[in-house]
Each structure stands twice: as C-alpha cells, then as structure tokens.
C-alpha cells in the first residue's frame, strides 16, 4: 500500500526502513511505525479473532482501547499493536486463531453458534450433569481466551521503577495538559506531565484546522510541546500510561521504554501536591450491526492513520458520526485523496455549518439525522446500510471503510479511582465529575470543551489552581484566568443517541468480551436493571480495555431501554490498572533485601549451604549430608564453631532502664548481677512466649541484652510499645549488626580459648552462666558461658569488623583440638537433645511459658512492674485443656523419624510433632511435640499421622526431657 506524500504531521521517517514478520508474511515498515501501522501499510486488515465467536477484528481506535489488536509479539501475548513501536525483526502473531492466518480461522463457525451462548451462558449451563464440566472446561479453554503463555516462558527485558515526588502531576499531554503544566511550572513548581502517546499534543497534534490565522492546530501543538520541553521544571513522561490514581494524590503509571531507554518498561509512582486531570475524551463507539467488522473504525483512527502514518484507511469510506471532528476528518481525508461515499451525522442541526459547507464544496453527500445500522462483508467491510434515525428510509452504499463514532466520552478514570463521583450531564451527554477529590482539578476536552482557546484556558486555570494547592499566592491570576474563561465558548452540546434502529444480535457493545446488545437485552429480561450488575452478568467491560468501549454505552443503553427511562443513569466502575500492563513491570527490579553476617563469604567458601532465615542468610550445614552427623558428633566429642551473629543484641540504659526490663521480661530483672547472665523470656499479654534471651548488667542502669534472631527486628518496637504511656527515661541502641557472635562449643572449647587469651577462663574464674569481658590479642570480647547445645560453650561477642579475623584465629588455634564449623541443622539437633526450645518451632501463638515448662522463669511478685503477660500467666498457670510440650521416642526400635508438623491423633487431632530427628548421641529418633495436656504423662502413647501415610500411623511414647545429659554436667564442667 502506497503511503501519502510527506506531511508536516508525520511520525514516520521515509528512508528509514524496517521489517517485521507477521506469521509467514514479511511486512515492511518505516521508523516511527507502530506494529499496527506497519501491518496496515502491508494490507493487513484482520489483526486477530475475537474471544468467543472468533469474529475477525481489526484497527478501531489506534490507542489500544480494546483487545482487537492485541497480538503475540516475540512470544509475549496480548501486546497492544496500536501502542507498541514496530522494531526491526519483530515476530508478530495474531491471537485466538486456529489456522495459519487470521483471515482463515477454523473456529469461525463459532459465530454461527452465538444463539447457543446467551448472556450468563457459563453460569447457567455446563454444570448439569457435573461430569461434563471437566470436558467442557478443556474445550472452552482451547477455543476461547486471548493469548497463550507458555508455562516456561521467560520474560526478557529490564523492568525498572521510579518513585517521583513532585508538586503538580498533570495527566494527559494534550493542549489542556500542556497549558496546565506550563502555568504551574511558571509558578516555580516541580511539574510532572504524563502522556500515553509517544508525543504531546492530543487532539491538536494531527489536525490541520486553523488555530488562529495562519497557524494550524498541529503547529500550535508543536509550539506548546516545545515550550514544555524548554521548561526545566517540567518532567515529561511520554509513552506513559496512567494506570492508577489513589487518594493523597498518588498516581501510578507505566512508561514504555524507547530504544534509548535502559528499561523495557518502568513503573512510576508519583506523589504530588496537586493533580490536574487533562485526559480528554475518547470516541464513543457507534452501535450498529457488525460494528466491529474490520474496516469499521473511529474518526481519530482514520484521521491519524493518514496524518501520522501516511496511510489512507481505505479506498472509499462512509462516515457515520456525531461530532464535528468527524466532518473535519472527512474533509481532510477527502483532500488527501480518500473517496468519501457520504457523511451521515446523528445530529439534525447542531453541527458546524461551515464544515457542512466545506463538504458540499467537495461534493460529499451530507446526511444529517442519518446513522449506520449495518456493515456488510464477511471478513472486511464491503458495504454499509444507513438509515434515517426514525427508521423510515434506508440506503446501502458500497465502501471498504466505515468511519463510525457516536460522539465523545470523557476519560474520567483518574477522578473516579480516588473517590470522585460522576453524574450524568444533560448538556454534554457526558458522565462528568460532580465531586472531585481534594487537590485534584480537571481541564480540557474532558469537560466537553471543543474550542481550542477554551481548552487551553481551562488548562492554564487548572495549573493555577494546582499552584494554589501547593501554597503559591496566585489569587489574582486565578481571578483573571477565570474571567478569560468566561468569555470563551463553554462545553458543546453532545449527542445522546446510543443506538440506531437495530436488532442488536451482531451489535457489539463490548469487543473484548464479545458481548452484544442482544446479550444486554437478555440480562435485562432476566431482571437485571443495574449497569454494574449487568456488566458482571454479561462480562461487558471486564476485558483488557476495561470500560473504554462499553463504558458510556452500557449504562445509557440500560437507562434508555429499561422498564421506565432512568433520568439519572449510573456509570459502571473502573479499577486500576486502567490499561493492560505487564506483571513483570509490577514485579520491578530486585526488592529482596537480605542480611549477611560478617562470616558470610568464608562460610560459603567452606561449603556452607546457605538458607534464608527471616532477613538473614545462614549456613544450614557444611556438607551434603542432611543429617549433619559429623558436625554434631564433633561438637559432642571435640569442639565446634557456630556463627551466631544474627542474634539480636541491644544496649539499654538510663535511669528507668530496669523498669523497662521489668515490664517486658517475666523474671525479676532486679536480680541481674554483674558478671552473670540472666536468662529470661518475654511474653505477650496472653502470657505466650514471644522471645527469650539473656540480660547482662554492664554498669549501673546500663544493660546488654540479646533477642532471638527472628525477633531482633521488633525488640525496640516491643519495649517502646509496652512503655508508651510511662514517659520513662531509658534509651536503647540496636547493636545486632555491631557485634558478630561466635558460639564455640564442645569439651575442648576451653583449651582453645585458653590459647588465645591471657584471661583466666578456668571453670572457677569463669563458671557456667558467667559473663566476662577480656581481650583476644588486643581486641575486646564480651564472653558468656551458655549451654544451648548442652556442652561446655562460650558465646563470644566481637566487633563485626574483627569477626572474621577472630574466627580465623580460633580455627587455626583449635586445629589440634579438632575444631570444626557447625551449622544450624547441627545446632537444631544438639539443642533438641537438651530439650531446649526454639520459638516458632516448639511454640506457636497460643503457647505460654507454662506450656513449655518454662514457668519457673516467671516471677509473680512484681505487680507494680505491670509485666506484660503476668496477668495471663497467673490465669493460665493451672488451666486445663492446653497444649503442652513433651519429649517423645518411638515405641518400637527401628521406626523411622516422623516428619515435622505431623498431627497426633486418636479419634481426633490431639497435637502435633514440633521437631523430630535422629539423635546420634542416643542412637534413636527423638522428638518434641505439643500435645493435649491429658496426654503429657510419661509413657503415654502418641499416634502420629503423616501426610500420605494411608492410615498407617507411627507410634511414639512420651518420655522425660532432656534426652541428653539430664543433669547438665557437660555444660557446667
């Protein structure tokens, strides 16, 4: 197809050629083409097949408002061909086509079956008998649906994001939007301007109509765009579709990347002081039979095809329109060489008579009060039947293009989403914002304005109002601008016609969902009378284009056709995302931030199998042996090193520090003695275990405390929360990351420590539960003797920057004593042999310290401290019917280890296995379980039900804990 000669409105560049592959066909295009324009230039008219009926579909709006032109591009389904630039070498496929090209679709017979699929078809049929349902699903899934995504599809590209703070955000880069941006920027404010198309200008951008003497509209658009470009405090985002608008002026948008951009798509989240909505209008689809047959297109589509891309939409076109833009387009297209069969206008009189005269001058038949009622042609249009609106006369004309448009529909999504309300306006025939959210203003064509000066002035006014929101003193400018506005033409009277005299069987109100007027009638016949419910029942407007196509027509049709005419029609709702988006863009770039200990690299190097535990990466074990047997036995026999740096560590000091400790710890914290560690627990109000750790008194009113790894992030928050009414004088410093923690455990631990420090670390000088500070070489170390794994062990807290060096020193020194690293799995089994609990493994939300056998930690005689959980601990101390922690062994030797989390059952569920492992020390499986309190007596049988056990229960019996070294001799020696 030959393109037009160079026009000043072109967006293509002659001489810069490219080609794309459409199925087997190679299509030549030019730099600046969209996929849609490139295919159209190569005579592609059918872009895909529709969802249900497999009807041929083609270009309609050029702004991607429906699924007609959604295509699979380089393996990505549902790419909007009208909004996506053509790139050399692209592979493009039509969707929902059974056959080689969309021109011959083997499923096209579906269209003949439409009688069998009334509205609500799926809800009403195919469920009786239920056995046909799986079969039906299979075939419906195959026949219907847009786009196919292969399960192993990998989305290529870079998906970026940006969080923008600005004073004013203007949505829409047409003349009103540009004027708003310029007037707000003129007040020295930061302005963000969003435009969906690749260029600014809106309805001005392609029209040759005169703006003022000697200046066509397209030139005016370019002048404004240039001013915007030269204003440094305006940031313009083109190719950027607004997808969400929320209260407090939060706007989200997706920016499609250009060749020069580093991103494929970028998610923008804009927080503005004020928002100007200048989104303008889209065209309102005209409803007639076969109104979506390829060849039927809207005014802007036909006009812009020629003006932006040099493509005449066809050879001979019939127009059926309801807006002066249609007359204007017919005149311009006629001048560009299109044969115009006629221009039918819904309006009897309110058209621009100058335009009518221009049509006459060109011998184009002008038919006011006429409307298209049927397009003919099986694949593409070959004729159209027009009718007078009163249905008295008809005329059939042959043509290959029908330019059809009932009028304008304002794009109000950005106003509605954050809570604006629409009401029907009789003058414009628009649903207009009656209430607008605070700090939001509307401008331009969306108000029903047509006059170029009125549009620009409304933009300038909105920009000033936004500036006022941002605290700029613009009262006088506002008054003046409002005065200007008053002298200019107001909103134009709009057309009201929803549908001509048609039956509606093939009149599509929603293209995406293949929903016809007949379907709407069926729904109404069933008693539906609210558009919002009809939308759901018929699925009209629930497709990827959201309400773009049916948004206005559906409620108006319902209002007109209902039992009694509704003079207050209600529009249906819209929701973000307002346009189809990539999920990959939502996912964005790397958000998964995790922490590493100072030992991370060397642990990985040593073969550590790293695992995410909360925010941290930790080594689970250092070999492929999942039982970690060697690590465990080495701790029991020699000495092991564990990286415990993830432990929460805090300093708490100040004159009321002790009061704060008494509030959150269940024990009597006044008993914390210097040189000793105090182990205690924190409970919630219900007495349930939240955290455990040790507290050390460093100085008067100065304490050092630890929290479990999982809780460290909330410790300060917790303590401050529970003291929020008290106004106490205490301070906290989070030292979690300041200190690394080395847990050196095993019978040889002391021998290693003695070699690296001059301090006396004998059992007498540094006994169990002791706290000491000493130097390793010249480095200060905080050391405590604890027994989590049940052996002689030292917990060394060392500054993070020294951690690796000290660890290396211990490893070198300990070589002769068999020192080896151990990981979390080894620690897990070692501590279990001692019956020590891990919060979250052996406890859950409802587990009190009594249930865990830790009731001894609770000091009941400090009511003045208002200890968190104390009241509940008193209340639940002897409460019946609670789950209690018990140890168990398997009844019969040789039974395997049950899985963690398996329920314990008799006639009902009686508890569950917390942790169970094979104990290398005891040479048999051991475990801990939370069980109903009547089952916790020693020797009681526990029946374990495992996932997939098919009724074969494992049998265990309750035993006393600890399993290993019950007297605790090992850790005290």
Q: Of residues 159-218, which lie at the interface with other proteins (CB under 8 A)?
A: 160-165, 190
**Residues 842-881 close enough to bind other proteins by CB under 8 A:** 863, 866, 870-872, 875
Residue 686 as a binder of other proteins (CB under 8 A): the answer is yes
Residue 651 as a binder of other proteins (CB under 8 A): the answer is yes
Compute the distance between CA of residue 283 and CA of residue 298 in angstroms, rounded to an integer: 7
Q: For 540-555, give the secondary structure using H, E and C.
A: CCCCCCCCCCCCCHHH
Compute the distance between CA of residue 811 and CA of residue 793 in angstroms, rounded to an integer: 15
**Among residues 120, 198, 501, 654, which is the contact residue for other proteins, using CB under 8 A?**
654
CB of residue 758 vs other proteins: minimum separation in angstroms? 12
Residue 720 as a binder of other proteins (CB under 8 A): the answer is yes
CB of residue 803 vs other proteins: minimum separation in angstroms? 8
Residue 755 as a binder of other proteins (CB under 8 A): the answer is yes
Q: Which residue has the tokens 């078809």?
A: 121
The DSSP element (H or E) to which 141 belongs, if any, is helix 132-143
Residue 418 as a binder of other proteins (CB under 8 A): the answer is yes
Q: How many helices (H) and strands (E) does the chain have?
A: 24, 49
CB of residue 166 vs other proteins: minimum separation in angstroms? 9
Nearest to 157 by CA among 63, 93, 84: 84
**Among residues 777, 845, 941, 960, which is the contact residue for other proteins, using CB under 8 A?**
777
**Among residues 637, 801, 879, 941, which is the contact residue for other proteins, using CB under 8 A?**
801
**Residues 944-973 close enough to bind other proteins by CB under 8 A:** none
Binding piece for other proteins, criterion CB under 8 A, among 118-126, 342-350, 535-543, 735-743: 735-743
Binding piece for other proteins, criterion CB under 8 A, among 443-451, 729-737, 781-789, 825-833: 729-737
For residue 194, the cross-strand partners are 171, 237
**Among residues 98, 246, 453, 679, which is the contact residue for other proteins, using CB under 8 A?**
246
Q: For 106-120, give the secondary structure using H, E and C.
A: CCHHHHHHHHHCCCC
**Among residues 702, 924, 933, 965, which is the contact residue for other proteins, using CB under 8 A?**
702
**Residues 97-156 close enough to bind other proteins by CB under 8 A:** none
Kindly give the pairing relationship between strand 648-653 and strand 731-734: antiparallel
Tokens for 35, please give them.
Answer: 């996929």
For other proteins, which is the closer residue by CB, 244 or 790? 244
CA dihedral 288, 290, 292, 297 (to 10 degrees): -60
Q: Judge residue 453's burial from the number of C-beta atoms within 10 Å of its C-beta, 0-12 exposed, 13-18 middle, 19 or more buried.
A: middle
CB of residue 456 vs other proteins: minimum separation in angstroms? 28
**Residues 611-630 close enough to bind other proteins by CB under 8 A:** 615-616
CB of residue 547 vs other proteins: minimum separation in angstroms? 21
CB of residue 371 vs other proteins: minimum separation in angstroms? 43
Tokens for 147, please give them.
Answer: 């786009």
CB of residue 805 vs other proteins: minimum separation in angstroms? 4
For other proteins, which is the closer residue by CB, 19 or 701? 701
Sign of CA dihedral 905, 906, 909, 911: negative
Nearest to 362 by CA among 386, 388, 343, 389: 343
**Residues 301-320 close enough to bind other proteins by CB under 8 A:** none
Compute the distance between CA of residue 821 and CA of residue 819 in angstroms, rounded to an integer: 7
The DSSP element (H or E) to which 212 belongs, if any, is strand 210-212
Binding piece for other proteins, criterion CB under 8 A, among 478-486, 492-500, 672-680, 715-723: 715-723
For other proteins, which is the closer residue by CB, 427 or 575? 575
Give residue 181's Cα distance to chain centre: 29
Nearest to 730 by CA among 764, 713, 749, 705: 705
CB of residue 249 vs other proteins: minimum separation in angstroms? 8
**Residues 874-913 close enough to bind other proteins by CB under 8 A:** 875
Compute the distance between CA of residue 873 and CA of residue 864 in angstroms, rounded to an integer: 16
Residue 813 as a binder of other proteins (CB under 8 A): the answer is yes
Q: Give the single-character DSSP code of 592.
A: -
Residues 6+ apart with CB under 8 A from 569: 424, 431, 531, 555, 556, 558, 559
Binding piece for other proteins, criterion CB under 8 A, among 59-67, 141-149, 674-682, 723-731: 723-731
For other proteins, which is the closer residue by CB, 115 or 725? 725
**Among residues 131, 591, 880, 950, which is the contact residue for other proteins, using CB under 8 A?**
591
The DSSP element (H or E) to which 750 belongs, if any, is helix 749-756
Binding piece for other proteins, criterion CB under 8 A, among 299-307, 484-492, 584-592, 758-766: 584-592
For other proteins, which is the closer residue by CB, 726 or 760? 726
**Among residues 595, 629, 630, 957, which is the contact residue for other proteins, using CB under 8 A?**
595
**Among residues 88, 480, 625, 685, which is the contact residue for other proteins, using CB under 8 A?**
685
Residues 6+ apart with CB under 8 A from 700: none
Residues 6+ apart with CB under 8 A from 945: 902, 903, 904, 905, 953
Binding piece for other proteins, criterion CB under 8 A, among 317-325, 512-520, 718-726, 787-795: 718-726
**Residues 350-409 close enough to bind other proteins by CB under 8 A:** none
Residue 800 as a binder of other proteins (CB under 8 A): the answer is yes
For other proteins, which is the closer residue by CB, 211 or 802? 802
Residue 254 as a binder of other proteins (CB under 8 A): the answer is no
**Among residues 210, 226, 808, 906, which is the contact residue for other proteins, using CB under 8 A?**
808
CB of residue 235 vs other proteins: minimum separation in angstroms? 10
Determine if the peptide bond prior to 638 is cis (ω within 30°): no
Binding piece for other proteins, criterion CB under 8 A, among 378-386, 395-403, 648-656, 933-941: 648-656
Binding piece for other proteins, criterion CB under 8 A, among 41-49, 66-74, 650-658, 959-967: 650-658
Residues 6+ apart with CB under 8 A from 882: 848, 850, 851, 876, 933
Nearest to 523 by CA among 961, 120, 943: 120
Residues 6+ apart with CB under 8 A from 156: 264
For other proteins, which is the closer residue by CB, 651 or 957? 651
Residue 768 as a binder of other proteins (CB under 8 A): the answer is no
Residue 475 as a binder of other proteins (CB under 8 A): the answer is no
For other proteins, which is the closer residue by CB, 137 or 738? 738
Binding piece for other proteins, criterion CB under 8 A, among 719-727, 849-857, 886-894, 917-925: 719-727
Q: Are 115 and 108 in contact (CB under 8 A)?
A: no
For other proteins, which is the closer residue by CB, 595 or 630? 595
Q: Which residue has the tokens 């300038």?
A: 460
Total number of residues that touch other proteins (CB under 8 A)? 76
CB atoms within 10 A of CB 49: 26
Tokens for 405, please give them.
Answer: 């448009």
- Letter string b/e over residues 90-113, b meaning 16 or more CB atoms within 10 A of that residue's CB: bebbbbbbeeeebbebebbebbee
For other proteins, which is the closer residue by CB, 804 or 943? 804
For other proteins, which is the closer residue by CB, 185 or 916? 185
**Residues 818-837 close enough to bind other proteins by CB under 8 A:** none
CB of residue 273 vs other proteins: minimum separation in angstroms? 10
Q: Residues 256-275: x/- map of binding to other proteins (CB under 8 A)?
A: ------x------x-x----
Nearest to 699 by CA among 652, 661, 735, 662: 652
CB of residue 419 vs other proteins: minimum separation in angstroms? 8
């Amino acid at each position: 197809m030959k393109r037009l000669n160079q026009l000043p409105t072109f967006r293509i560049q002659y001489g810069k050629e490219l080609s794309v592959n459409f199925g087997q066909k190679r299509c030549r295009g030019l730099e600046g083409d969209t996929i849609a324009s490139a295919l159209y230039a190569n005579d592609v008219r059918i872009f895909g097949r529709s969802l249900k009926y497999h009807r041929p579909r083609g270009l309609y709006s050029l702004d991607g408002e429906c699924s007609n032109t959604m295509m699979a591009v380089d393996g990505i389904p549902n790419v909007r061909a009208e909004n996506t630039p053509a790139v050399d070498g692209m592979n493009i496929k039509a969707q929902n086509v059974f056959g080689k090209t969309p021109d011959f679709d083997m499923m096209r017979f579906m269209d003949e079956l439409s009688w069998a699929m009334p509205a609500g078809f799926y809800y009403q049929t195919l469920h009786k008998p239920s056995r046909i349902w799986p079969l039906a699903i299979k075939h419906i899934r195959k026949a219907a649906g847009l786009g196919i995504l292969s399960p192993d599809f990998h989305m290529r590209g870079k998906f970026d994001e940006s969080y923008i703070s600005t004073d004013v955000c203007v949505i829409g880069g047409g003349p009103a939007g540009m004027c708003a941006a310029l007037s707000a920027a003129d007040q020295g404010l930061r302005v963000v301007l969003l435009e969906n198309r690749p260029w600014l200008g809106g309805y001005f951008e392609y029209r040759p109509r005169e703006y003022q003497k000697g200046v066509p509209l397209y030139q005016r658009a370019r002048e404004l765009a240039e001013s915007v470009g030269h204003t440094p405090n305006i940031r313009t985002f083109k190719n950027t579709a607004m997808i969400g608008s929320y209260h407090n002026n939060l706007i989200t948008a997706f920016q499609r990347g250009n060749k020069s951009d580093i991103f494929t798509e970028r998610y923008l989240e804009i927080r503005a002081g004020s928002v100007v909505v200048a989104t303008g209008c889209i065209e309102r689809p005209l409803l007639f039979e076969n109104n979506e047959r390829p060849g039927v297109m809207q005014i802007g589509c036909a006009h812009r095809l020629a003006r932006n891309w040099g493509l005449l939409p066809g050879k001979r076109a019939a127009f059926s329109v309801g807006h002066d833009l249609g007359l204007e387009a017919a005149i311009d297209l006629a001048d560009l060489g299109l044969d115009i069969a006629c221009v039918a206008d819904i309006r009897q009189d309110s058209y621009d008579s100058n335009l009518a005269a221009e049509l006459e001058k060109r011998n184009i038949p002008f038919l006011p009060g006429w409307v298209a009622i049927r397009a003919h042609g099986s694949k593409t249009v070959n004729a159209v039947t027009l009718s007078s609106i009163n249905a008295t006369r008809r005329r059939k004309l042959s043509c290959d293009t029908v330019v059809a448009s009932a009028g304008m529909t304002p794009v109000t999504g950005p106003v509605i989403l954050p809570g604006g309300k629409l009401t029907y306006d009789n003058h414009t025939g628009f649903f207009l914002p009656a209430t607008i959210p605070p700090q939001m203003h509307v401008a331009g064509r969306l108000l029903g304005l047509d006059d170029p000066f009125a549009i620009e002035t409304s933009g300038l006014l909105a920009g000033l109002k936004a500036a006022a929101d941002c605290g700029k003193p613009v009262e006088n400018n506002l008054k003046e601008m409002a005065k200007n506005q008053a002298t200019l033409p107001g909103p134009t009277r709009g057309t009201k016609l929803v549908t001509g005299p048609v039956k509606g069987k093939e009149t599509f109100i929603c293209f995406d969902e293949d929903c016809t007027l007949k379907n709407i009638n069926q729904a109404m016949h069933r008693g539906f009378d609210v558009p919002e419910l009809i939308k759901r029942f018929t699925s009209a407007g629930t497709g990827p284009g959201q309400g773009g196509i049916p948004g206005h027509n559906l409620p108006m049709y319902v209002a007109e056709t209902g039992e009694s005419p509704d003079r207050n029609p209600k529009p249906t709702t819209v929701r973000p995302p307002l346009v189809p988006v990539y999920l990959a863009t939502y996912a964005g770039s790397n958000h998964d931030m995790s922490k590493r200990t100072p030992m991370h690299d060397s642990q990985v190097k040593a073969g550590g199998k790293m695992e995410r535990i909360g925010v941290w990466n930790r080594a689970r074990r250092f070999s492929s042996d999942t039982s970690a047997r060697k690590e465990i036995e080495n701790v029991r026999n020699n000495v092991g090193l564990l990286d415990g740096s993830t432990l929460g560590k805090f300093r708490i000091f100040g004159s009321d520090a002790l009061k704060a400790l008494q509030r959150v710890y269940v024990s009597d914290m006044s008993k914390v003695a210097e040189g000793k560690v105090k182990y205690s627990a924190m409970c919630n109000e219900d007495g349930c275990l939240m955290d455990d750790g040790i507290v050390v008194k460093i100085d008067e009113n100065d304490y050092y405390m630890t929290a479990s790894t999982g809780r460290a992030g909330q410790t300060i928050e917790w303590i401050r929360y529970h003291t929020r009414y008290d106004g106490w004088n205490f301070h906290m410093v989070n030292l979690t990351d300041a200190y690394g923690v080395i847990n050196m455990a095993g019978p040889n631990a002391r021998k290693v420590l003695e070699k690296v420090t001059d301090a006396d670390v004998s059992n007498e000088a540094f006994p169990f539960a002791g706290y000491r500070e000493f130097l390793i070489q010249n480095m200060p170390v905080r050391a405590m003797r604890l027994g989590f794994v049940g052996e002689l062990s030292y917990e060394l807290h060392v500054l993070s920057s020294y951690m690796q060096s000290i660890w290396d020193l211990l490893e070198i020194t300990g070589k002769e004593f068999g020192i080896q690293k151990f990981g979390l799995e080894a620690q897990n089994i070692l501590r279990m042999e001692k019956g020590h609990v891990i919060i979250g493994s052996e406890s859950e939300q409802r587990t009190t310290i009594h249930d865990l056998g830790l009731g001894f930690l609770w000091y009941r005689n400090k009511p003045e401290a208002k200890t968190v959980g104390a009241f509940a601990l008193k209340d639940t101390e002897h409460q019946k019917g609670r789950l209690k922690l018990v140890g168990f062994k398997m009844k019969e030797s040789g039974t395997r280890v049950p899985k963690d989390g398996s329920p314990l059952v008799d006639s009902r569920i009686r508890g569950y296995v917390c942790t169970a492992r094979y104990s290398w020390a005891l040479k048999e499986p051991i475990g801990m379980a939370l069980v109903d309190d009547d089952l916790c007596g020693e020797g009681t049988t526990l029946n374990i039900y495992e996932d997939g056990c098919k009724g074969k229960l494992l049998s265990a019996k309750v035993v006393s804990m600890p399993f290993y070294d019950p007297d605790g001799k090992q850790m005290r020696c």
